């Protein structure tokens, strides 16, 4: 569902319950919820599932699991346990389902968590994902909000997975052509999360369905802060620009554009293709991190610039919530 529709539904509901244990709940744009147990521990809850984005069932399982675990890492938490969410047409064959689950299970183990069970529904179209529970110190939760004027904006994985998946579905590229993107989607955000925590990040979120700009918008409060983005500094998976210029743009990118439009000022020099890449819905994307100048130094001592992260913009004071996209 696009961000606009989701917002409409949430407005139809009564406001979320107010309890002092709820550190992050329904009222914030964060994807995961945080519930304090005591002075030392809080639970993080999140879940995510979707239809196959690649043909290989094992890789799909890995990607879906990495994606579901990501919201725990975006908050700086440690995943503890996970449950499978499975929709599957029995006619496809149980060996395929077993491969999906094996991929997911191995990824959960790699993340240091345990898979405890799950639930399966017969459905025409396969879908897979996880509900994940994590632990975090209640005083060390990173959320979307908290960036300050002068902070750098850092991104820890390239963009382009929605565009490449669209091209793959249309047989314009093969799974081998998008090997780097598949590796990227299956990679955990764990190291980036630890580096962000250690660097004292002011804010952190992960890039998924709302695209780079949609998730960046979630990092900006109603007023007082803007962000300048340098489009040419954004890391892209191979073939992303080629496929985007051929029109391989997923419908979600247009939904994301409608949602962010009001707050985005495009420099006329930023081409349409690049605009759509910034709006492309991502699967298991990287972390977006707001870092002070000192924080950026610590971060760059922990992870390799260029390979593991790129500085893609900076936060600036602005009367109005706004994203300025420069070439
Ligand atoms: Co999510
Ligand atoms: Co998220
Ligand atoms: Co059940």
Clarify whether residues 254 and 224 are in a common domain: yes
Amino acid 11: pLDDT: 82
> What is the average pLDDT value for the chain, to the nearest integer?
95
299 and 164 share a domain? yes
- Interval between CA 129 and ligand 3 midpoint (Å): 15
Taking the C-alpha atoms of residue 141 and residue 205, their distance in angstroms, rounded to an integer, is 11
Average pLDDT, stretch 142-168? 97
Mean per-residue pLDDT, 92-111: 96
Total Cβ atoms within 10 A of residue 264? 18
Helices 161-169 and 251-260 pack at an angle, to 10 degrees, of 150
What is the Å distance from ligand 2's center to 32 Cα?
7
Which residues constitute the domain of residue 43? Answer: 15-140
Give the mean pLDDT of 205-228: 96
Q: Is 172 exposed, middle or buried (0-12, 13-18, 19+ CB in 10 A)?
A: middle
- Distance separating alpha carbons of residues 155 and 288, to the nearest angstrom: 5
d(CA 254, CA 256): 5
What CATH number is given to the structural domain containing 130?
3.30.1330.10
For the beta sheet containing 127-136, the strands, ordered from the edge strand earlier in sequence to the opposite edge, are 22-24, 33-36, 42-50, 127-136, 78-88, 114-122
Residues around ion ligand 2, judged by CB within 5 A, are 31, 71, 206
Entry pTM: 0.93
CATH number of the domain where residue 197 is located: 3.90.650.10
Per-residue confidence (pLDDT) for residue 15, from 0 to 100: 78
Asked if the model's pLDDT at residue 21 lies above 90, the reply is no
* pLDDT on residue 125: 94
- For residue 78, the CA-to-ligand 2 centroid distance in Å is 15
Q: What is the pLDDT of residue 3?
A: 73
Instruction: Establish if 146 belongs to a structural domain.
Output: no
175-198 mean pLDDT: 97
pLDDT at 18: 81
Is residue 113 domain-shared with residue 167, that is, in the same domain?
no
Ligand 3 center to 121 CA (angstroms): 9
Looking at the fold, whether 133 and 166 belong to one and the same domain comes out as no
User: Which pLDDT score, from 0 to 100, does residue 171 have?
Assistant: 96
């Amino acid at each position: 569902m696009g961000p606009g529709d989701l917002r409409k539904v949430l407005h139809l509901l009564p406001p979320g319950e107010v309890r002092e244990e709820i550190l992050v709940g329904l009222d914030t744009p964060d994807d995961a919820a945080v519930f304090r147990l005591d002075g030392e521990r809080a639970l993080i809850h999140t879940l995510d599932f979707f239809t196959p984005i690649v043909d290989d069932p094992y890789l799909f399982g890995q990607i879906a699991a990495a994606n579901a675990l990501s919201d725990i890492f975006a908050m700086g938490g440690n995943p503890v346990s996970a449950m499978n969410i499975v929709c599957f047409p029995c006619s496809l064959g149980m060996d395929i389902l077993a491969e999906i689950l094996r991929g997911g299970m191995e990824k959960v183990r790699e993340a240091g968590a345990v898979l405890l069970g799950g639930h399966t529904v017969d459905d025409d179209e396969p879908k897979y994902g996880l509900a994940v529970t994590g632990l975090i110190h209640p005083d060390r939760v990173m959320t979307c909000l908290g960036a300050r004027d002068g902070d750098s904006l850092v991104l820890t994985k390239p963009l382009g997975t929605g565009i490449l998946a669209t091209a793959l579905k249309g047989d314009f590229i093969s799974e081998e052509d998008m090997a780097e993107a598949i590796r990227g989607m299956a990679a955990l955000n764990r190291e980036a999360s630890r580096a962000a925590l250690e660097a004292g990040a002011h804010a952190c979120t992960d890039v998924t369905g709302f695209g780079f700009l949609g998730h960046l918008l979630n990092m900006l409060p109603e007023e007082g802060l803007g962000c300048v983005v340098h489009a040419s500094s954004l890391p892209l998976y191979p073939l992303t620009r080629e496929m985007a210029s051929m029109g391989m743009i997923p419908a979600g990118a247009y939904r994301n554009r409608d949602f962010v439009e009001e707050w985005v000022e495009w420099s006329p020099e930023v081409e349409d293709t690049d605009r759509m890449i910034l709006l492309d819905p991502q699967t298991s994307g990287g972390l977006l991190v707001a870092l002070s100048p000192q924080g950026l130094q610590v971060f760059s001592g922990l992870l390799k610039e260029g390979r593991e992260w790129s500085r893609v913009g900076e936060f600036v004071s602005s009367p109005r919530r706004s994203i300025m996209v420069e070439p």
